[in-house]
Amino acid sequence: MKIVITGATGNLGTALLRRLVADHHELVGLARRLPEPDERDSRVQWSMVDLTHEEADGTLRRAFRGADAVVHLAWGFQPSHDPDYLGRLGVGGTRRVLAAATAEQVPHLVHLSSVGAYSPKLDDRPVDETWPTDGVPGSTYSAHKVAAERLLDDHESTSASSTGITRLRPGIVGQRAAASALLRYGVPGFIPARAIRFVPVLPLDRAMTIPVVHADDVASAVQQVVSRRALGAFNLAATEPVGPQHIAEVFGARTVHVPNRILRAATAATWRTRLQKLDPGWLDLAMAVPVMDTSRARAELGWVPMFDAKAVLRETLEGLQEAASAPTPALRPRSVLGQLGDLARHGPISRRRRT
């Protein structure tokens, strides 16, 4: 099969390529920044594309020509102070991918949505794929995931295209190799990775529950979806969500219950003043996302996650402590000196312009 992957150098893209190269597919990796030539897998054809630019339309069509499946993973998380750019990348990029796949008559498009597309939970009972996808108020990430889903809805309801669509809705995705990227996106540049080992207290709202999943388990689901051409929506998550007690256990710290309204006010104030990089919408998301029922993926794909929630947390945390990385621009090593150099040259990542 010819399989084209957008966002192929990121957290999920690298995990998916690890899995698919062993199946001897014809693989095409698309990314805004490509790995260095001596770090590229010879079994993958690479092409540079920036989904925020009009020039991407032609590049996508050429890459998609003759493809059996397109897996659309590309998304952006920073600069958080530039939601217009994030919208052009996430929502606009999805529009371009969908248009190119339709024009080239690609039979199967796999779109990476998210638990963040779901409407807020009512309680902690797991929800299946029929739960409303109206998003979490206050979260830019959620709003953009919802907008991308609406594009897919419109396509399915109005288009005569032969392109079938799969929507994967994973929980928060972790793996060791993504640690340096997570540090750049979420931790002030002057804080060394090893300092994470010495967090004694975690102020968290005890009502928080977050579904998580390992990148390798998401890659396994993509592999099954593509091979079976399974259409529709699939929830993907480890067997149980994580709460403050799980996070504290993995950190070796103790938790202190702090109501979310206080945490959110502090997060918003420090984000607005550029003291830290995560906008308060991520707290809104953490408090509102539902627990997910993964029965459909298990029954129709034969999907069983290999990592439980604590294993995902533990591996990701160990990676954060060691600033683990991978040989792609998106997952490149992170250091305090490097972060301070980038800050001096380009400004904070939370409002840095993309070129």
Q: Give me the helices (H) in the chain, please.
A: 11-20, 56-64, 83-103, 140-158, 179-186, 215-228, 244-251, 260-272, 281-288, 295-301, 309-322, 336-346
Q: What does the alpha-carbon distance between residue 250 and residue 197 come to, in Å, rounded to a whole number?
A: 10
Residue with tokens 């993958």: 44
In the DSSP assignment, the letter for residue 179 is H
Please give the Cα distance from 283 to 275 (Å, whole number).
16
**Beta carbons within 8 Å of 208's beta carbon, 6+ residues apart:** 243, 244, 260, 286, 287
With 90 as the cut, is the pLDDT of residue 158 above it?
no
Per-residue pLDDT tens digits for 191-229: 888 888 888 999 999 999 999 999 999 999 999 999 999
Domains: count for the chain:
1
- 144 pLDDT higher than 70: yes
Mean pLDDT of the chain: 92
CA 220 to chain CA centroid, Å, is 15
> Which residues are registered as beta bridge partners of 26?
2
Residue 65 is predicted with a pLDDT of 98
Q: Cα separation of 110 and 134, whole Å?
A: 20
Phi-psi category of residue 127: left, alpha or beta, with phi > 0 → left and psi -120 to 50 → alpha: beta
Predicted confidence band of residue 334 (pLDDT cuts 50, 70, 90) = confident
**Residue 294 belongs to a domain with what CATH number?**
3.40.50.720
- Predicted TM-score (pTM) of the model is 0.92
Could you list the residue range(s) of the whole structural domain that residue 180 is in? 2-254+258-351
Q: How much is the pLDDT for 355?
A: 47
